[in-house]
Amino acid sequence: MASGFETEDDGDDRGLLSDRIRNALTDEIATGTLAAGAALDEQQLADRFGASRTPVREALRQLAAGGLVELRARRGGVVARMTPERIMEMFETVAEIEAVCVRLATYRMTPLERSHLIELHDLSQPIVEAGDFDAYDSFNRQFHEAIYHATHNGFLAEQAIAVRNRLNAFRRTQLRQGERLRRSRDEHEAIMQAIAEGDGEMASRRMRAHMLNAATSLRRFIEANKPT
């Protein structure tokens, strides 16, 4: 998430109401519970969260600033509606940013970080065998974020996480396509290989391909389920 807020992890009972609402809405949008284009009525949301409109409004403003929600002046807000073109643009952007990250990480990561990453990667094997999509999604997130942090550039890591989060709903969808889970892990394997060899450029190219494969998988899914 773009910085600026004290976000303690989601065990949130205490904390600001507007932050809790923001986190809840972020989650619902990311998981698709709130579909793209869904209208966001302030009073309705306020009732649902047992709050007044004020914290809801603040949450919506923050989400709008993050691009998850579109606010049209005096006409209310809707969950950001994304065209297939825009989704592809976002995937390409993530792919390029991830490619940058893995290149920097290859050159900068400490032995400890490298060890941690290898360990993480090894853990994904049984998950793939079991075909556990949710577990793999969670692992995948950890894997990529470990790479972000290994760049030793906190700002870049934040940006990467923020952009990645906006693609959450789509990435999860895409993982459920056919053999994508196993192929995803194979691609990770190839990336790990390049990292182990200290070849940042190679790791970068493989990461870009990895992300674009995911995008292609998603595009196929979108076109297969096209309503028209």
Partner DNA sequence: AAGCGGCTTCCTGTATGCAGAAGCCTGCTT
Partner DNA sequence: AAGCAGGCTTCTGCATACAGGAAGCCGCTT
What Rg, from alpha-carbon coordinates, does the chain have?
19
In terms of Cα–Cα distance, which of 199, 190, 189, 204 is closest to 120? 189
**Contact indicator for 208, 99 with CB cutoff of 8 Å:** yes
Per-residue DSSP letter, 49: H
Does position 2 bind DNA by CB under 7 A? Answer: no
Does position 163 bind a second copy by CB under 8 A? Answer: yes
> Is residue 70 classed as helix, strand or coil in its secondary structure?
strand
Binding to a second copy (CB under 8 A) within 9-48 occurs at: 15-16, 18-19
**Contact indicator for 87, 170 with CB cutoff of 8 Å:** yes
Considering only 12, 32, 38, 67, the residue that binds a second copy (CB under 8 A) is 67
User: Where are the alpha helices (H) located in 74-179, listed in sequence order?
Assistant: 84-108, 111-130, 133-150, 154-166, 168-175
User: Which CB, 57 or 183, lies closer to DNA?
Assistant: 57
Considering only 28, 41, 49, 61, the residue that binds a second copy (CB under 8 A) is 61
User: Which CB, 77 or 200, lies closer to DNA?
Assistant: 77
Footprint of a second copy (CB under 8 A): 2-6, 15-16, 18-19, 54, 57-58, 61-73, 80, 86, 89-90, 92-93, 96-97, 99-100, 104, 153-156, 159, 163
Footprint of DNA (CB under 7 A): 16-18, 40-43, 46, 50-55, 57-58, 71, 73-77
